[in-house]
Amino acid sequence: MTISRKTLAAAGFLAATAAFSFAPAIAAADTPSMYDSCDSTQEGQRITTANGDVLECVEVDTGTGYDWEIPN
């Protein structure tokens, strides 16, 4: 059985297209929301959520740790 280059190219294109079509959904699921925890290595970093809110990783006022909050 021989597989032509054209068939291999088409299969590769379809595989790459499928991989990229799922990437935005996966990335969106990983975006933290208000009061989700973060860590000291992320302190000061800002992100934009899917709905356009900007959040910053800050040290919590009470207790210990860090979380995502709307910057002042």
The tens digit of pLDDT for each residue in 15-49 reads 555 544 544 554 555 788 888 999 999 999 999 99
Question: What is the band of 63 on the pLDDT scale with cuts at 50, 70, 90?
Answer: confident
Enumerate the domain spans of the chain.
1-30, 33-72
What DSSP string describes 24-46? HHHHHHH---TT-EE-GGGTT-E
User: Residue 38 pairs with which residues in a beta bridge?
Assistant: 66
pTM: 0.56
